[in-house]
Amino acid sequence: MPPKNSVYIATSIDGYIADKDGGIDWLDMVSIPEGEDMGYYAFMENIDALVMGRNSFETVLGFDVDWPYTKPVFVLSNSLSVIPKSHREKAFPVSGELTEVLHMIHNRGFLRLYIDGGVTIQSFLSEDLIDELILTTIPIILGGGIPLFGDLRQRLAFEHIGTKVFADQLIQRHYRRVRQ
């Protein structure tokens, strides 16, 4: 099985993943039926591990919920101390060039990776390391905030795999990178 780097994330119509204050309350503006997870469980089933930045890691740690991941989480950080003791069997700091980081993660047997967090996704895209995008659009224009996408040196062509609509309002587009 070849390695694969996937993004599964929600944005506003104008492409933000958090509002001007870093808030994500608008993610819940549409009520979805109980039990509808918009494909998240199936997506996670096919993931071997997650890769996220320090900011995203600390944001998840700060949520008032149990640790949400059953797969290992690799945290891009130059500091071991970013991982609190309570999570040292669940999350692992990694550092270096992204291609080196990936090589190391792949060597540990984790091939299908969920790349998460704005900065991390942008870093991966800037090196053309994203193979799959699953983008769910919330029907709101935020007018500012943390953008999903950033500047790139090159264009990246994708192929549309499918689009699903949840609760009549949430549009989930699925794209696969096409490399010539």
Our CB check for a copy of itself shows the closer of 37 and 128 to be 128
Cβ at position 155, least distance to a copy of itself in Å: 6
Binders of a copy of itself in range 23-62 (CB under 8 A): 26, 29
CB half-sphere exposure, 3, CA atoms < 13 A? 19
Length of the chain: 180
Our CB check for a copy of itself shows the closer of 1 and 165 to be 165
Q: Does 152 bind a copy of itself (CB under 8 A)?
A: yes
144: three-class secondary structure by DSSP: coil
Please choose, out of 51-59, 81-89, 101-109, 152-160, the segment that lies near a copy of itself by the rule CB under 8 A. Answer: 152-160
Q: At what angle do helices 54-62 and 118-126 cross, to 10 degrees?
A: 150
Contacting a copy of itself (CB under 8 A), which of 28, 151, 179, 180?
151
DSSP 74: E
Task: Give the span between the Cα atoms of 135 and 145, in whole angstroms.
Answer: 17
Binders of a copy of itself in range 96-135 (CB under 8 A): 125, 133, 135
Q: Are strands 91-94 and 73-76 parallel, antiparallel or unpaired?
A: parallel
CA distances 159 to 8, 129, 180, Å, are 16, 15, 12
Our CB check for a copy of itself shows the closer of 43 and 158 to be 158
Residues contributing to the site for a copy of itself (CB under 8 A): 13-15, 19, 26, 29, 125, 133, 135, 137, 139-144, 148-160, 163, 165, 168-171, 173, 175
